[in-house]
Structure 1
Amino acid sequence: MLSVRIAPLLPLFLWAVSSVSADTCSEVRDNTDIEVSSPLQLAYIDEQTDYWSASCSALKPSCIIFPRSAAEVAAVLRVLNTNNEKFAVKSGGHSPNNYYASIDGGPLISTQRMDHVLLDPTTGVIDVGPGNRLDEVAKKLHGTGWTFVGGRIGNTGVGGLMLGGGLSYMSAQYGWSASSAISYEVVLANGTIVTASDTSHPDLFVALKGGGNNFGVVTSYKLQAHPQGQIYGGNLIFLRTPDLDAKILRAVRDFTEYNTDDKAAIIVTAERTTVNLVDSWILFLFYDGPESAVPPGTFANFTSLQPLLANTVRTRTYADMMAESNWVVLKGLQVQIGTESVPLPAAVDADEVLVEGIHAHWRNVTDSALLVPGMVASVAYMPFPKRIAQAARERGQDLLDVDPDADRLIVELDYIFLSPTDYSKMEGKMVESYSGIRERVVEWQAEGKLRNVYLPLFMNYGFYRQDYWGRLKAASRQLAREVAERVDPAGLFRTRTGGWKP
């Protein structure tokens, strides 16, 4: 009698057992020609150690799968649909958030072998594979007269940059990096390969511009490149003094409001290390043209500051600047990154908001971490003038949907340290840092010192505990949910990969 009751449940039981025990690595290795690398093999070791943060390298996938095409990605996803294994997809591995492009105990899909950059020299349209890093794309386009709207650090992977939106030195001219997208080749959760564009799956096309890894695996980005010759760029490095803090922060505030040359861009960063062995300001200057084309006075508020320790700003190629930018990537250390968005304060409130408020708060938090071994703390103030929002909107819809109604600053927070045993402590410092900025902004808005404007978080700089989706507009959240449920009804990407989920 008992066997009669169990019999109808036997197929379901056998499916559950096989689903749990199915091994993606073995299935792909034994039944396809797709490259699969196991622990101790050289390809596995090279790829597993190639993350910005050592915390991601500490997570050990069961194998690393290296598809070379959309068809091979589709085959891997079809295998994943037969089991319940967690997995991850990696472009450059620049995100330091654990499990976003890294995995422990499940398969890692590396896009490294999809590293094509195909340029139409007449139209400037490029097909770019997600296995490229930004410095590699710049190198491959070097000498063609065309450039792409990439990020600011060459080590960054194309996939993570584009799916998060992508902020560029050229954003005032062309919007987000994703604003230059013409179409995406996407492998959906069920293995279907589609093209997302303005005319084909248009909702998916919008969702991929700021929606992260929730909708499929993008295997090729068709982008509009832009004409470019030599550029003027590099770093200014200053020894920190208390009065210099105020001068630099006022200068970046004024530049954000008053600069009218879309070809000019700047980032200002403050850097501190363990026991304050280094306490400095490092500025990144960029102009989309040679030094001779820079209008007089464009960067004068910065170049006139003292004490100047080093100046690497010069006329060069974009590829050269992208390659040199990788000095900021310190391998073998733990990395955490977070962000906040701030309405640009009026000149009369600049000291209270930026100098005595946000920057003093950051220094107070980092004061309590100066004994952490190998600690490097940095805060970056990035102008987000309304022109960037305008340029993005001129080129189509995206999930961030920033209104061109106000100038803003994007604040990036980075903590780098030596030992994984300090991870939870430094996580607390990160949360304290961005939460303190947010609390101050809300208070200043209530007091009328800052405008009450829309302040989304920028995904590419977000900490995993931040509420990325909660800070977007309701319409963007709804669009993302609807698209995710339609293209991935079983929730393969929403439940079995890391990242912010709509």
Structure 2
Amino acid sequence: MPGSTAYTTAATHYWSNVPAEATPACIFKPASADQLSVFLLITRLTQSEFAVKSGGHAAFAGASSTSTGITVSMENFNQVTLSQDRKTAAVGPGNTWESVYDALDPYNLTVIGGRASDVGVGGLMLGGGISFFSSLYGWACDNVVSYQMVTACGTTVTASATQNQDLFYALRGGGNNFGIVTKFNLAVFSLPGGAIWGGTRIYQEQHMPATINAFTQMANNIEKDPSAGSWLTFVNYGGFKVSAAELWHVGQNGSNATIFSNYSAIPSISDDTQNRNLSGYTEKVEAPDPYGFRQYFYTMTVKNDANLTTAAKDIFFEESDLSSVPGSLIVMTMQSITVPQLQQMSKNGGNPLGLSAADGPLTLVLIACRWNNAADDATAYAAGSNTLTRIKDQSMAMGLDVNYVYMNYGAQYQDIVASYGDANKQKLINIAQRYDPTGVFQTLSPGFFKLDRAPVPGTEYFSH
């Protein structure tokens, strides 16, 4: 309850300070599906609003916190249980990905999950989930064997390829619009010693054309070595512009992989690529994004093209001057959605994201921003919105635009489900009506990406 140490700790432990400002009426920490069932029945009876928190990595108010009702913390759903045949792992949404990888590492096994240590399981899984292993096995949502979920009616159901197949489809990217997931049964894969090679290479501004070419060509040729991956970040440190390539390869000694040859030919000013353990690598990836700031993610998708990435880079540097904003840092990161990733999206009945392998490879454009003070919110959001609006216009002019918006990088102004296409949106609405006929998760849990709207609809900020 408010005023207690437990309340204060739970209410303020968020990656971004924005949701940490919420003041819920109380914080509920269920420990079983039965307790969640009773909770949902009571909220329906009293018409009380609520928000569900897994790891607390969503950046905006209302996503996993609320000032108009009850915050439900899933922290007690923290099991990681390996099946007897070691083919699946039952993972609770209260885990972070570091805890999942640590639990499976002694068995030389892993699952397809997040790349940052402190990200929660629940949000990443329901939004899609890009992994270091996605060009090998697909996104996290496409490697779920089954879900256990409590519906708005208080019933616990299982969704899989053989049970409630419509719900199984919807949960693979449809967000929190259908119920509260209490368990993910995930396919397990071999990873001896948790071995992965990875790290960051930083390049001076004059080498940006070469790094853009390396990023583009790697996405085009990833079928030759799907164990590899990269993303490319642009940042302006007080007038010193650099690009930073994050490179990884499943297993040891990835520096010898031919697919990195374009990157390796470019002189870097810093290089910490090395053999690592998966869990430790996620800590390394998390480190540049510390807690204690106001933060946002903001995103769009385009087709993989070096000329468009070059134009996007120029637009970003023109629109992202936040030098007058205290505590600010804004970066733009390009991430590949490769053809092998897209091909995996059709397995087990497919997912609702609306992506096709025929359109790939694609590039996710991510704007990540942090700053200190609420007084600068409008300035910070405008930088991201203006950048993406101009990149969208450029991509349309070049015939390289894509409607899809990745939920896990979405800002509160983005209508994610609309970006999946009209047919998939309607299909999700129909499925929700079966499992939530009174619309509890559309009206009483309104703060995240809903089936018919953005969390903050009707603004002039960029949507999709």
Bucket of the pairwise TM-score, normalised by the shorter protein: over 0.9
- What corresponds to 1:253 in structure 2? 216
Q: 408, 411, 417: which one pairs with 1:460? A: 408
RMSD: 1.7
- What residue number does 2:302 align with? 342
How many aligned residue pairs are there?
A: 447
Report the Cα offset of residue 395 of structure 1. 4.4
Uncovered stretches (5+) of structure 1, i.e. residues with no partner = 1-37
Question: Residue 478 of structure 1 corresponds to which residue in structure 2?
Answer: 426
Alpha-carbon contact 1:269-1:283 (below 8 Å) kept = yes
Letter in 2 for 1:471: S
Indicate which of 396, 413, 417 corresponds to 1:469.
417
Paired position in structure 2 for 1:264? 228
Q: 1:225 is paired with a residue of what secondary structure? A: strand
Partners in 2 of 1:251 and 1:435 — Cα distance? 26
Q: What residue number does 1:407 align with?
A: 361
Counterpart Cα distance in 1 of 2:160 and 2:114? 22
State how far apart, in whole Å, the 1-side matches of 2:142 and 2:196 are.
Answer: 24
Amino acid at match of 1:469: V
Which of 358, 364, 387 does residue 433 from structure 1 map onto? 387
Q: Deviations over 1:387-432 (max 9, x none)?
A: 1111222344111142111211111111111111111221222211
Q: Secondary structure in 1 aligned to 2:106?
A: coil
The 5-angstrom pairing of residues 392-403 of structure 1 reads 392-403=345-356
- What residue number does 1:97 align with? 60
Aligned match of 1:489 in 412, 421, 437?
A: 437
1:185 and 2:148 matched: yes
Q: Deviations 1:80-128 (Å, cap 9, x if unpaired)?
A: 0111222100000111022011111311000001100001253321000
Distance 1:326 1:121 in 2: 32
* Distance in structure 2 (CA, Å) of the matches to 1:44 and 1:66: 11
**1:125 has 2:88 as partner:** yes
Runs of 4+ in 1 over 3 A off after TM superposition: 293-296
- Identity, % of aligned positions: 27
Aligned to 2:281: 321
Letter in 2 for 1:411: V
8 Å Cα contact 2:199/2:274 also seen in 1: no
For 1:303 and 1:56, how far apart are their aligned partners in 2? 41
* Residue 294 of structure 1: how far off its partner (Å): 6.3
Task: Tell me the distance in 2 between the aligned counterparts of 1:427 and 1:354.
Answer: 21
How much does 1:343 deviate?
Answer: 0.8
**Worse overlay, 314-323 or 229-238:** 229-238
Counterpart check, 1:360 vs 2:314: yes
Structure 2 regions of 5+ residues with no counterpart? 452-464
Structure 2 counterpart of 1:290, which letter? Q
Shift of 1:239: 4.9
TM-score when scaled to structure 2?
Answer: 0.92
Code of the aligned partner of 1:397: G
TM-score norm. by structure 1 comes to 0.86
Contact 1:92 1:159 in 2 (8 A): yes
Instruction: Report the AA paired with residue 300 of structure 2.
Output: E
Distance in 1, matches of 2:236 and 2:129, equals 26
Aligned to 1:399, what secondary structure does the other structure show? coil
Residue 282 of structure 1, aligned match among 224, 244, 252: 244
3-state SS in 1 of match to 2:320: helix
